[in-house]
């Protein structure tokens, strides 16, 4: 088995192109800034006790040698150390024509299990904002949902096509089925669900305790009111749902006395629900909002 503690056993000879020259480090710092100041590799290094955001990217070969030494001296398992070195070798592979295979060769020689390779490759693609390739790796069935909150936040906030395209974020959610530990990740994911599929968002909200459920339900109603051009179709999807007694109460409370009362579409939603529940059935009421359907 390869001795990964020897620098020269891990990295290409000094004569090869260095991914951590001025241009390379500048590109990495640009990605870091665009991802809110923290890369996924920063989080991994932090778990090794290596300063977040200061050790990576290393500055030239001397910086790489220093980082290699810090990794090898960290108090974690060999698998975790080898995983980080594998990530660094992906940087080397990336800058060489034809994508060299240093990372894969290193993994084979050190016996790094496939799931560790898949996970680190997924994080590497996240750090390059290559989200499509990232989730192809990070949703592999062999992987735990590690960094699920941070991955979800990045995918919702940094859509590669438009701010309202949640395709990749929802693809990750459906495939990985993560359990969120932060309110930020939960709120962002629910916002994406609410703007995309009312029924699915409602079902999702029902997984949580009452207080959180109420907040999510109100957020769902708010998301419908925020898109007046889709009020008819999306509103119909909500008012036609079999709401629980609590949800019915929250619906009326939010629209009559809560923040929803300020929206132009409030009366429309209330009338639509009234018709569905039989509380309002006159032709005149239907005509009032027929144009929204």
CA distance 53 to 32: 9
Q: Are 161 and 121 in contact (CB under 8 A)?
A: no
Contacting residues for 285 by C-beta, under 8 A, at least 6 apart: 271, 274, 275
CA distance 183 to 150: 11
Of the candidates 224, 238, 233, 227, the one whose C-alpha atom is nearest the C-alpha of residue 291 is 233
Q: Phi/psi class of residue 5: alpha, beta or left (left: φ > 0; alpha: ψ in -120 to 50)?
A: alpha
Handedness of CA 168, 174, 179, 180 (dihedral sign): positive
The answer to whether the predicted template modeling score (pTM) of the entire model surpasses 0.95 is no
CA distance 234 to 223: 9
CA distance 276 to 211: 26
Q: Are 245 and 210 in contact (CB under 8 A)?
A: no
Q: Are 35 and 129 in contact (CB under 8 A)?
A: yes
Q: What is the pLDDT along the chain (293 residues), one digit of tens a residue?
A: 899 999 999 998 776 778 999 999 999 999 999 999 999 999 999 999 998 668 999 998 899 999 999 999 999 999 999 999 999 999 999 988 666 789 999 999 999 999 999 999 999 999 999 999 999 999 999 998 899 999 999 999 998 777 778 999 999 999 999 999 999 999 999 999 999 999 999 999 999 999 999 999 999 999 999 988 889 899 999 999 999 999 999 999 999 999 999 898 899 999 999 988 887 655 444 455 445 44
- Number of Cβ within 10 Å of residue 207's Cβ equals 10
């Amino acid at each position: 088995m390869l001795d990964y503690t020897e620098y020269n056993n891990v990295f290409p000879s000094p004569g090869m192109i260095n991914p951590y020259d001025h241009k390379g480090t500048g590109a990495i710092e640009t990605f870091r800034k665009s991802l809110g100041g923290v890369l996924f590799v920063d989080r991994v290094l932090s778990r090794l006790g290596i300063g977040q955001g200061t050790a990576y990217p290393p500055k030239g070969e001397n910086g790489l040698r220093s980082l290699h030494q810090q990794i090898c001296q960290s108090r974690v398992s060999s698998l975790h150390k080898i995983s980080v070195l594998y990530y660094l070798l992906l940087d080397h592979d990336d800058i060489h024509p034809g994508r060299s295979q240093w990372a894969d060769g290193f993994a084979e020689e050190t016996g790094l299990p496939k799931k560790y390779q898949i996970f680190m490759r997924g994080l590497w693609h996240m750090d390059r904002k290559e989200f499509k390739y990232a989730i192809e790796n990070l949703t592999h069935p062999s992987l735990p949902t590690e960094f699920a909150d941070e991955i979800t936040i990045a995918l919702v906030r940094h859509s590669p096509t438009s701010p309202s395209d949640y395709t990749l974020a929802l693809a990750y959610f459906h495939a990985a089925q993560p359990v969120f530990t932060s309110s930020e990740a939960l709120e962002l994911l629910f916002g994406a669900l609410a703007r995309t599929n009312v029924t699915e968002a409602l079902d999702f909200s029902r997984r949580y305790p009452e207080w959180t459920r109420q907040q999510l339900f109100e957020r769902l109603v708010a998301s419908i009111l925020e898109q007046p051009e889709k009020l008819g179709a999306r509103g119909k999807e909500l008012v036609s749902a079999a709401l629980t007694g609590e949800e019915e109460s929250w619906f009326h409370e939010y629209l009559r006395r809560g923040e929803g009362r300020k929206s132009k579409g409030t009366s429309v939603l209330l009338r639509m629900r009234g018709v569905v529940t039989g509380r309002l059935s006159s032709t005149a009421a239907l005509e009032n909002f027929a144009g929204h359907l």
